[in-house]
């Protein structure tokens, strides 16, 4: 399996010379261009934290970068990256380390869902896309960022799960399977970390997003908006500590 081309010692040494990110925390959010990822980024930026975001949608990254330009002199970082690609995340880790240092918090938010369908009618490419994004994407980020955190024994990683990662639902079996995998992956990796670090599986609850609309149709509008959710989620995430390692939590 491919590993980073420069060693952990060099990465950690680079952090010492990383540009200052201001008084707040450095928070990396994957899938930052839309939905709850975007809302969370805006809420955390408004609270004075430095946002490091990635997405495959460069136009949306540009838009978010412009929106978060503020008077507090915090320089946010947005990178075009595909979490389902190990090499793309490897490069992301290099860029983040060189420009911002090791993130204090990582939110593995990037995700996708299959169109409502019985499992045997889900196209194989669609099934693979769900697994590649929701499971391999999380694993790729863990693979390249945990080695940056271990030497300093500091870092909180939040893996976005789902209520459907703790139960089953018809017509979204690939998505359910992926989120059950996130739960198991999080609990297992938590046992491998040093004291001071934490990996948490977080069920965001039911939020009105494009993904929810794909499942619920027009009734998705009955649920809370991402910006309202982000207020609660931001507070919860900012208060996570090493004592929460291995927990499965819900906003």
Annotated catalytic, 223? no
Q: Which of 175, 186, 189, 230 is catalytic?
A: 175
Let me know: does 169 contact 116? Beta carbons within 8 Å: no
Nearest to 140 by CA among 71, 87, 178, 97: 87
Bridge pairing between strands 26-30 and 105-108: parallel
- Start-to-end CA distance of the chain, whole Å, equals 35
Query: DSSP assignment, residue 31?
Result: S
Q: How far apart are CA 10 and CA 120, in angstroms?
A: 48
CA dihedral 201, 203, 207, 213 (to 10 degrees): 80
Query: DSSP assignment, residue 159?
Result: E
Q: What positions carry a catalytic annotation?
A: 175
């Amino acid at each position: 399996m491919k590993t980073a081309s420069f060693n952990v010692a060099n990465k950690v040494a680079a952090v010492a010379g990383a540009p200052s990110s201001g008084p707040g925390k450095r928070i990396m959010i994957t899938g930052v261009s839309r939905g709850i990822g975007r809302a969370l980024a805006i809420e955390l930026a408004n609270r004075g934290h430095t946002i490091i975001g990635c997405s495959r949608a460069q136009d949306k990254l540009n838009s978010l970068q412009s929106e978060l330009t503020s008077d507090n002199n915090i320089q946010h970082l947005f990178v075009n990256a595909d979490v389902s690609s190990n090499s793309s995340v490897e490069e992301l880790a290099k860029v983040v380390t060189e420009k911002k240092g090791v993130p204090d918090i990582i939110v593995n938010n990037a995700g996708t869902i299959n169109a409502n369908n019985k499992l045997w009618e889900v196209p194989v490419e669609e099934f693979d896309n769900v697994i590649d994004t929701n499971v391999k994407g999380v694993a790729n980020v863990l693979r390249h960022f945990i080695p940056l955190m271990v030497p300093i024994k500091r870092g909180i990683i939040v893996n976005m799960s789902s209520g459907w990662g703790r139960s089953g639902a018809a017509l979204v079996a690939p998505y359910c399977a992926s989120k059950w995998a996130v739960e198991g992956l999080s609990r297992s990796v938590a046992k491998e970390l040093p004291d001071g670090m934490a990996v948490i599986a977080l069920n965001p609850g039911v939020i009105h997003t494009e993904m929810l609309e794909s499942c619920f149709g027009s009734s998705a509008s009955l649920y809370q908006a991402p910006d309202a959710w982000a207020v609660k989620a931001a507070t919860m995430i900012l208060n996570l500590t090493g004592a929460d390692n291995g927990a499965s939590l819900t906003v």
